[in-house]
Structure 1
């Protein structure tokens, strides 16, 4: 009884969606890599026991997801694709758009993960990578004078964290941190969390990023972890206060 109820509660998937999942499983089971050519349409129809229309729709679904690439002409056909990190984050962002994430939700994760990323990267980055992070940290030597400048500084600050995430050896850790930076950037813009300009937030954030790059150059994992932990705690406190101020202004209006 319970099993049947659970089954009935699950959303029913269309046949093309089910076949698309079967094709993905087929690819995984054969450990096919990017660029591997998939069977032609006739072989797909026979393999999965469905109509031509269903196969075509399933392939369109997979192509929209970036999992396959179709090329025409000589040597054409369908090939295994590779979903970029940018595309994957965009698809995931579409899901979280409806989940009403809070600053507390995001910083709960950031406070756990980003200090560990900083510690992992200490002493492992190349001079070129460190110089790139240094340039991002020092991009705005003066505090913002307008809301537009403040928005630009917020976006630049998060670009530092996004770039740092791309250097992670642990690709899952880097992906999650980069995704959180993206979500926070979008939240900052659409909630206008950059108004009014916050000089204390700029000064504290800039100093932390500069100090972090120095710790990474020194290869001091403990120091890098501590700086990032302090950076996350301070940023959360100030961003929450900024959001509360905006809400008070909105209610007053």
Structure 2
């Protein structure tokens, strides 16, 4: 994903309709509809805070990046400016953003915000049982979504997703990770289930740091990308059993890698 702000203060790329990995490209229309659902009556500061934290932890909001203004965030989330202000206050107290005054001021992500640091801390704090439980939840939703997508998706939709994967080598490692996250959500959107897509979006934000940690080098990231490409191929072929099996295998491999990392003395560094 490119810079999330412009000199005039644009809406975050994670919340806009423009594809994060190429100028002019657009998100698939099914994902677009789910992504732009406003918080609405659930517009509590906690939900705004959670979405911003997820954007930071996933690397959508980079270290040192300026957030859009309170009014722009409020408009994007569909909440009152005072709700955004309360969420930003909490983020400041958590040390995730800083506020600067003056002409070029605003709220900025702290300079040391690093998704991998967050992932390592979270890995150290979680038990193996908690990791496997989280993976079971993620696998249940993701597998259900891809199986349904294999039954419902139009081939032209899966071909568009595959076309995005073919551009992976054009991106830097951070952009590659974000592309894989986005593609997984796009697959869920092809299930044509708004509920499954929204839940996949939420879980992807939670699970993304662990996926990043399990693929910290280029070879491991490539293996994840190849596994995801195979899942897309199964969806395109209309084979829900193969799509579900490959999804489960990918998640099991990630958890096995995380448990190995957790057992390594280096994981505490």
- What TM-score does the superposition give when structure 2 sets the normalisation length? 0.46
